[in-house]
Amino acid sequence: MPPYSIVGGNPAKVFKHRFEPHVVDKLLAIAWWDWSAEKITENLKAITQ
C-alpha cells in the first residue's frame, strides 16, 4: 500500500490519500519516525501544520 494512504477491505483497497504526493515525498525524505522524542517535540508545530 502507498505510504500515508487510507486502506480497508479484504483484499485491501486504497480509499484515499492523507496528503498530496509532494507532502508525502517530504515526509518520507525527513524520516521523522527515526527522530528522538526531543526532536519531535522541538519540531511539533512544523510537523502538525
Long-range contacts of 35-44 (CB under 8 A, 24+ apart): none
Report the distance separating Cα 19 and Cα 32, nearest Å: 16
Grid coordinates in use for 35? 527522530
Write down the pTM of the prediction: 0.75
| 8 inside domain | no
Q: What angle do CA 29, 16, 24 make, to 5 degrees?
A: 10
| 26 inside domain | yes
Q: Which residue has the cell 494512504?
A: 5
- 8-39 pLDDT, tens digit per residue, is 999 999 999 999 999 999 999 999 999 999 99
Indicate the number of domains in the chain: 1
Residue range(s) defining the domain that contains residue 29: 20-49
| 43 inside domain | yes
| 33 inside domain | yes
Dihedral (Cα; 36, 37, 41, 47), 10-degree rounding: 70
| 36 inside domain | yes
The yes-or-no verdict on residue 42 having pLDDT over 90 is yes
| 11 inside domain | no
